[in-house]
Amino acid sequence: MQLIHHNPWELMSSLRRDVSRLREAEMPDTFVPAVDIYEEAERFVVLSDLPGIEAARIDITVEEDLLTIKGERKATQTAEGASLQRAERASGQFERVFRLPETAAGEGIRAEYSDGVLTVYIPKAEKPAPYRIEVTAN
């Protein structure tokens, strides 16, 4: 009878290689910027990573309760005669749409762009003050 030596770590390593190959094959060929959204006491803040994009190429609109951020990231140009060895940085047009919460004010939204990060500040709507309603009798 022959003993078979089994190395469980080799199986894990093989699985890791297979998953890595699958992920590379499924890499999107379009740019989808990462976004963080958080709430402060007086406003909502949207942070979006837009490296390599000129501020003039970013379009932000609000229509009803939808905030839309769209733009385009140009593909990297290689020098003449250079051959691309690896390409992981996606490019192309992008669009992200977010539904604003009911507590967001549609007016007064402002945006800043610095070091490749777009920051959109969305103020909260003022809450109506409570008031008393008089009851009349006939």
How much is the pTM?
A: 0.69
Q: Is the pLDDT of residue 12 over 80?
A: no
* Of 56 and 18, more confident: 56
Cα–Cα distance for residue pair 88/130, rounded to 1 Å: 55
Q: Compute φ and ψ for 136, nearest 5 degrees.
A: -105, 145
Do 50 and 117 contact (CB within 8 A), yes or no?
yes
Q: What three-state secondary structure class fits 9? A: helix
Q: Is the pLDDT of residue 103 over 80?
A: yes
Average confidence (pLDDT) over 34-58: 93
What pLDDT does 21 receive? Answer: 72
Average confidence (pLDDT) over 1-28: 69
CA distances, 41 to each of 86, 100, 104, 111, 121 (Å) = 45, 16, 12, 18, 12
Assign domain 28-74+91-126 to a CATH class: mainly beta
Residue ranges of the domains in the chain?
28-74+91-126
- Could you tell me if residue 123 is left (phi over 0), alpha (psi between -120 and 50 degrees) or otherwise beta? beta
Average confidence (pLDDT) over 1-25: 71
% pLDDT > 90, the chain:
45
- How many other β-carbons are positioned within 10 Å of the β-carbon of residue 120? 22
